């Protein structure tokens, strides 16, 4: 009778604690694993600065170059739709902000729900387009392994369950909310051990690329 | 039992209720049950002719709050009259008889209305030890099973009877269970709430009297007409939620301006009840209107649902503390992982055999 | 040991993984956009040429040796090992179809420097004996004879004699204490001696003291191309020794892409110390001379010309504006190709590809992009600054039956000098 509420309590309690713990430990391990390998300082005479071009690349790689966009508009657009939609629904939905507030001790203003709702639809559309692309684009098809599809699913489920819970399309509500939270826990647990890590490491990668180019006086 | 022969219409008129007032009630009932206005005459006609059903009211592990809620009123109301009108043949708190006479009344009602009476239960049933709650030397379980045997249906009033309620709250010392955990062969209508809204119980009765059937129920056995939408979806403060305007404390500007109480722990989004539309105390107000978030009392296990003042989306554990432990552990394990990686690479560097032009070809 | 083995290859892969490599592999989400930057993919449409995929052997070593989860998967047998067969299959991908032009490194949305990793992956390929035999042979000649094309100083001395006799210019050799020591690529000695003549003309015009070095004139470095730091170190050391013997202030890299990379960027790291001299590309020197007013040129000519940026000098070396300023000095009708500068398309022959006969058919096929780009400009002459690009483009244009004269930029500038 009360299974749904028990499930929600478990998802909000024990399961969340476990998932968050694995996530934090895992991410730190991964970052240590990467940074411990170091990068030897070059003895060549620099032609430019490393820090600023590195920082610039961190930001500039967010925008595609024109040629790439023209050749693969679907990859670029689906990527934008998904990432922007995800960031809005993840970071600007009031209940989520309350969660961050409880975890890190500070919050920020959110967006009205109808906007977040639209962002979620956009993110889901983007993800579906990305999956279609992955299944049909010969390059992506060849590159993709099981992990790529797993990561897709791990990202898709929280968006889907969140949407269904918000619109009360799963009953009872505690079950819907519980499923949503559980799907995020699944994501958190697998995050450090999959390509989801790119969320953090892309800043390192972009910085290294920009810094190494900057050292040689190249705009990257 | 000559009262049973009178129709509801006769009883109402005898108590001075006008035709106009009666239709008004029928309209309100129709709207509560989400029936079209065209149904009002049908409801009125049916109620007019309805016979008083026999009702046996059993109180188990409860606080009498449900009875308080249903019986209290400062001025006589139609709900009260309907409530009074049923033939309440057994009810600890309200009946005049006591001791063996009381039990005899229950048995008499059961025999006289075999297969036709309604059983109303408030309170949960302790299975841990039958001695925790007894009536006339019988355990609640025995009383319930015996009484329900000849009933047409059971109405579980209040969250204790519906879902176990407070007695079942962690760590559930009495092994409390809900009515539907025991009664599986009869229709059980759950009317949860701590306490439930008076109009909801009368509405269920009105439905039964009007249509002779039980109302459509949701997955928790609650009448959909009353529990079909969440507090959140019907809340007059909802526009503030959608606009992102929140009270952060009970005495800040947001609270004074009547903004959304989500951040103060309001459980409106997960709670299904009619408070936002039916209100309390003859429509005077309801918890959110009086400035306090919904505590979710009409939902199973509401008492253990993570604290009344924690926002619904906030996990129940000590997250900040856990997160700091996890960071400490991560740094520890991370340092080991870093050490292993450095050792692996240093070893590779040591094992490097210089590549000369003699070595290029695989032999 | 004198033997390339899988184990040596794996060890080399292990040695090569550093924080950038780990960050790059951690960040790749298989979006496939790098393929769109690679002419081996764009011209063939074959997804196997997707740049990031060329790094599969290195990626496996990283995952299995440097990540916790990879080590667990390895124990459980959930990952595929790096085998001889894999490396054999990947030789085509890491050598024949990659010029390390680094265009992919420029488009990757997560910032992966794929060319950086290809260079590293080649270390493992060399150590495991999976490098192209032609490039191996070139490396052998470079180490044994001093030049990948087998050019000895004798040949250079003969060219110097010819030029001095023909032009009356003086080409100093082994002059201790000269300021500038230009390096040459063998191709310039054999195919484009005009470059040497132009150098002599420019140095004389600008009144600079300079010298060639008889035992360190070869700037090309097959070690960089094949991907062996050990061999590259030996070749760089020769230049450093020569420059130190002659006590020059500047070593001037020639019109050759990878030579600039090897002496300007990789050199100090290879020999493990800073150079006591500065390294400039010849175009950087010319631009400095232009700024200081030491280049007096005649009126710019109106011939429609275009410029091909050698990847190693432009995108990878940061010498992009200098050639444009020099072109402006000598031409009033210079037109850019559609993608130029940082965004140029490779000629298809860099990174050792032009020395690798296995890659010849593919190289000609993918040259189509460069050919189209050149034709689009409507230029009647193509200028570049790399002898290798120049040869590759000449061969490519010939294969597509396009007639277009080419000239090195240094040569072009030298032709425009006016003596008072």
Domains and CATH numbers, chain C: 6-130 (1.10.1060), 136-290 (1.20.1050), 295-415 (3.40.50)
Query: What is the secondary structure of A84-143 as a DSSP string?
Result: HHHHHHHHSSHHHHHHHHHHHS-------HHHHHHHHHHHHHHHHHHHHHHHH-HHHHHH
Contact A205 C111 (CB under 8 A): yes
Q: Between A11 and B28, where is the model more confident? A: A11
Structure tokens at C285: 């020197």
Q: Tens digits of per-residue pLDDT, B249-297?
A: 999 999 999 999 999 999 998 899 999 988 888 788 999 999 999 999 9
CA distances from C130 to B87, C60, C94 (A): 96, 17, 10
What confidence tier does B83 reach under pLDDT thresholds 50, 70, 90? low
Q: Name the C residues in 276-305 with CB < 8 Å from any A CB.
A: 278-279
- Report the residue from A30, A39, A218 with minimal CB separation from C20: A39
- Report the residue from B345, B356, B362 with minimal CB separation from C129: B362
Amino acid B6: pLDDT: 67
Q: Between B163 and B244, where is the model more confident? A: B163
Contact C47 A139 (CB under 8 A): yes
Q: Name the C residues in 97-126 with CB < 8 Å from any B CB.
A: 126
Dihedral angle over CA of B138, B142, B143, B144, nearest 10: 150
In sign, the C-alpha dihedral spanning B198, B200, B203, B209 is negative
CA distances from B269 to B231, B297, C275 (A): 6, 12, 70
- Give the chain B residue nearest C128 (alpha carbons): B362
What confidence tier does A219 reach under pLDDT thresholds 50, 70, 90? confident
Amino acid C143: pLDDT: 94
- The whole-angstrom distance between A3's CA and the closest CA on chain C is 35
Contact C15 B362 (CB under 8 A): no
Q: Tens digits of per-residue pLDDT, B23-76?
A: 887 787 777 677 778 888 888 888 777 777 888 999 999 999 988 887 765 444
User: Which residues in chain A are contacts of B301 at CB distance < 8 A?
Assistant: 2, 5-6, 9
Burial C154-165 (b: 16+ CB within 10 A, else e): eebeebbeebee
Over range A9-13, report the average pLDDT.
Answer: 89
Q: Does C335 touch chain A (CB under 8 A)?
A: no
- Give the chain B residue nearest C131 (alpha carbons): B360
Q: Does A115 touch chain B (CB under 8 A)?
A: no
Q: Does A12 touch chain B (CB under 8 A)?
A: yes
Amino acid B78: pLDDT: 53
Name the β-bridge partners of C184. Answer: C218
Contact C136 B355 (CB under 8 A): no
Amino acid B236: pLDDT: 95
Peptide bond into C190 cis (omega under 30): no
What own/partner pairs with CB < 8 Å and gap ≥ 24 does B6-14 have?
Answer: B6/B51, B6/B52, B7/B48, B7/B49, B7/B50, B7/B51, B8/B47, B8/B48, B8/B49, B8/B50, B8/B51, B8/B52, B8/B82, B8/B85, B8/B209, B9/B47, B9/B48, B9/B49, B9/B50, B11/B52, B11/B81, B11/B85, B12/B81, B12/B85
Of C174, C391, C387, whose CA–CA distance to C282 is shortest?
C387
Contact A209 C112 (CB under 8 A): yes
Of B140, B146, B78, whose CA–CA distance to B117 is shortest?
B146
Chain C: partners with 3+ C-beta pairs within 8 Å: A, B
- The whole-angstrom distance between A54's CA and the closest CA on chain C is 10
* Helix or strand run (H / E) with residue B25: helix B19-32
Of C121, C137, C115, C39, whose CA–CA distance to C347 is shortest?
C39
Amino acid B82: pLDDT: 60
Structure tokens at C16: 């090569």
Amino acid C379: pLDDT: 96
- Report the residue from B315, B329, B337 with minimal CB separation from A32: B337
User: Which residues in chain B are contacts of C65 at CB distance < 8 A?
Assistant: 344
User: Length of chain C, please?
Assistant: 420
The packing angle between helices A51-60 and A198-215, to 10°, is 130
Instruction: Judge whether C125 and C87 are in contact, CB under 8 Å.
Output: yes
ipTM of this predicted complex? 0.96
Positions in chain C short of pLDDT 50? 1
Average pLDDT, chain A: 93
Amino acid B79: pLDDT: 58
Contact A48 C318 (CB under 8 A): yes
Q: Which of C228, C232, C352, C356 to mutate to test the interface with B (most CBs of B within 10 A)?
A: C228
Q: Tens digits of per-residue pLDDT, B104-132?
A: 999 999 999 999 899 999 999 999 998 99
- The whole-angstrom distance between C101's CA and the closest CA on chain A is 13
Of C119, A104, C22, A149, whose CA–CA distance to B341 is shortest?
C22
Backbone angles phi, psi at B244, to 5 degrees: 80, 30
Backbone angles phi, psi at B311, to 5 degrees: -55, 145
Instruction: Judge whether B242 and B264 are in contact, CB under 8 Å.
Output: no
What confidence tier does A16 reach under pLDDT thresholds 50, 70, 90? very high
Amino acid A148: pLDDT: 96
Contact C316 A218 (CB under 8 A): yes
User: Which residues in chain B are contacts of C12 at CB distance < 8 A?
Assistant: 348, 352
User: Which residues in chain B are contacts of A37 at CB distance < 8 A?
Assistant: 341-342, 345
What's the farthest any 2 CA atoms get from each other in chain C? 79
């Amino acid at each position: 009778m009360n299974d749904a509420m028990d499930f929600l309590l478990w998802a909000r309690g024990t399961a969340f604690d476990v998932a968050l713990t694995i996530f934090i430990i895992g991410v730190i391990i991964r970052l240590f694993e990467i940074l411990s390998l170091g990068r030897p300082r070059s003895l060549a005479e620099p032609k430019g600065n490393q820090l600023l071009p590195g920082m610039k690349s961190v930001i500039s790689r967010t925008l595609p170059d024109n040629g790439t966009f023209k050749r693969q508009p679907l990859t670029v657009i689906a990527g934008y739709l998904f990432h922007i939609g995800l960031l809005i629904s993840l970071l600007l939905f009031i209940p989520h902000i309350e969660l961050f507030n409880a975890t890190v001790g500070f919050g920020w203003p959110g967006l009205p729900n109808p906007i977040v709702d639209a962002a979620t639809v956009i993110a889901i559309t983007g993800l579906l387009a990305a999956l279609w692309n992955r299944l049909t684009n010969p390059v992506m098809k060849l590159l993709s392994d099981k992990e790529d599809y797993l990561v897709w699913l791990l990202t898709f489920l929280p968006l889907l369950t969140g949407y269904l819970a918000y619109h009360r399309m799963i009953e009872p509500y505690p079950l819907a909310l519980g499923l949503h939270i559980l799907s995020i826990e699944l994501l958190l647990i697998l995050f450090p051990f999959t390509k989801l890590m790119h969320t953090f490491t892309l800043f390192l990668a972009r910085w290294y690329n920009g810094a190494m180019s900057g050292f040689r006086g190249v705009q990257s | 039992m000559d009262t049973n022969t009178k129709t509801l219409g006769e009883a109402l008129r005898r108590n001075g209720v006008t035709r106009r007032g009666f239709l008004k009630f029928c309209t309100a009932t129709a709207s509560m049950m989400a029936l079209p206005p065209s149904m009002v005459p049908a409801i009125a006609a049916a109620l007019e002719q309805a016979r008083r059903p026999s009702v046996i009211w059993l109180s188990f592990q409860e606080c009498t709050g449900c009875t308080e809620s249903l019986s209290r009123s400062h001025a006589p109301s139609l709900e009260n009259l309907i409530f009074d009108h049923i033939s309440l043949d057994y009810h600890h708190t309200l009946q005049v008889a006591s001791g063996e006479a009381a039990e005899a009344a229950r048995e008499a009602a059961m025999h006289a209305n075999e297969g036709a009476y309604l059983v109303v239960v408030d309170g949960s049933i302790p299975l841990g030890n039958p001695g925790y709650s007894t009536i006339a030397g019988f355990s609640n379980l025995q009383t319930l099973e015996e009484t329900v045997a000849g009933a047409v249906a059971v109405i579980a009033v209040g969250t204790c009877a519906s879902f176990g309620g407070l007695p079942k709250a962690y760590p559930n010392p009495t092994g409390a269970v809900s009515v539907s955990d025991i009664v599986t062969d009869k229709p059980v209508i759950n009317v949860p709430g701590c306490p439930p809204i008076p109009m909801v119980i009368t509405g269920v009765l009105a439905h039964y009297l009007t249509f002779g059937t039980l109302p459509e129920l949701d997955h928790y056995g609650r009448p959909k007409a009353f529990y079909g939408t969440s507090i959140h979806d019907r809340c007059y403060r909802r526009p503030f939620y959608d606009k992102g305007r929140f009270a952060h404390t009970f005495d800040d500007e947001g609270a004074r301006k009547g903004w959304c109480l989500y951040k103060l722990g309001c459980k409106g989004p997960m709670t299904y009840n009619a408070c936002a539309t039916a209100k309390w105390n003859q429509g005077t107000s309801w918890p959110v209107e009086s400035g306090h978030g919904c505590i979710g009392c009409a939902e199973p296990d509401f008492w253990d649902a993570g604290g009344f003042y924690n926002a619904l989306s906030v996990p129940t554990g000590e997250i900040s503390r856990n997160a700091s432990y996890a960071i400490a552990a991560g740094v520890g394990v991370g340092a080991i992982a870093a050490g292993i990686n450095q050792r692996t690479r240093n070893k590779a560097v040591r094992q490097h055999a210089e590549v000369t032009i003699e070595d290029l070809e695989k032999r | 040991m004198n033997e390339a083995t899988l184990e040596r290859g794996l060890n080399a892969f292990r040695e090569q993984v550093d924080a950038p490599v780990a960050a790059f592999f951690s960040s790749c989400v298989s979006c496939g956009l790098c393929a769109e930057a690679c002419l081996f993919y764009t011209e063939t449409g074959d997804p196997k040429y997707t740049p990031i995929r060329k790094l599969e052997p290195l990626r496996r070593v990283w995952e299995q040796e440097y990540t916790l989860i990879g080590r667990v998967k390895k124990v459980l047998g959930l990952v595929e090992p790096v085998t001889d067969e894999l490396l054999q299959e990947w030789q085509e991908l890491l050598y024949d179809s990659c010029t390390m032009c680094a265009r992919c490194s420029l488009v990757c949305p997560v910032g992966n420097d794929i060319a950086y990793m290809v260079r590293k992956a080649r270390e493992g390929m060399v150590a495991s004996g999976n490098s192209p035999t032609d490039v191996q042979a070139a490396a052998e000649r470079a180490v044994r004879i001093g030049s990948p094309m087998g050019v000895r100083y004798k040949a250079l001395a003969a060219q110097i004699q010819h030029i001095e006799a023909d032009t009356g210019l003086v080409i100093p050799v082994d002059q201790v204490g000269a300021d500038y020591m230009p390096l040459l690529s063998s191709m310039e000695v054999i195919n484009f001696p005009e470059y040497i003549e132009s150098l002599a003309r420019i140095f004389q015009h600008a009144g600079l003291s300079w010298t060639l070095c008889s035992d360190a004139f070869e700037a090309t470095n097959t070690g960089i191309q094949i991907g062996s730091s050990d061999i590259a170190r030996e070749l760089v050391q020769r230049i450093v020794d020569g420059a130190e013997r002659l006590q020059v202030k500047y070593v001037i890299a020639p019109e050759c892409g990878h030579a600039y990379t090897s002496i300007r960027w990789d050199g100090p790291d290879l020999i493990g110390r800073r150079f006591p001299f500065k390294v400039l590309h010849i175009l950087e020197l010319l631009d400095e001379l232009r700024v200081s007013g030491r280049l007096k040129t005649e009126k710019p000519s109106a011939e429609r010309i275009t410029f091909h940026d050698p990847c190693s000098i432009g995108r990878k070396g940061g010498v992009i504006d200098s050639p444009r300023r020099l072109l402006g000095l000598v031409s009033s009708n210079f037109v850019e190709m559609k993608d130029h500068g940082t965004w140029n398309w490779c000629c298809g022959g860099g990174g050792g590809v032009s020395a690798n006969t296995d890659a010849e058919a593919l190289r000609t096929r993918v040259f189509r992009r460069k050919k189209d780009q050149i034709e689009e400009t409507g230029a009647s002459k193509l200028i570049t600054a790399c002898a290798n690009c120049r040869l590759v483009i000449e061969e490519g244009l010939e294969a597509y039956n396009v007639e277009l004269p080419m000239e090195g930029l240094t040569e072009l500038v030298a032709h425009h000098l006016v003596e008072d």
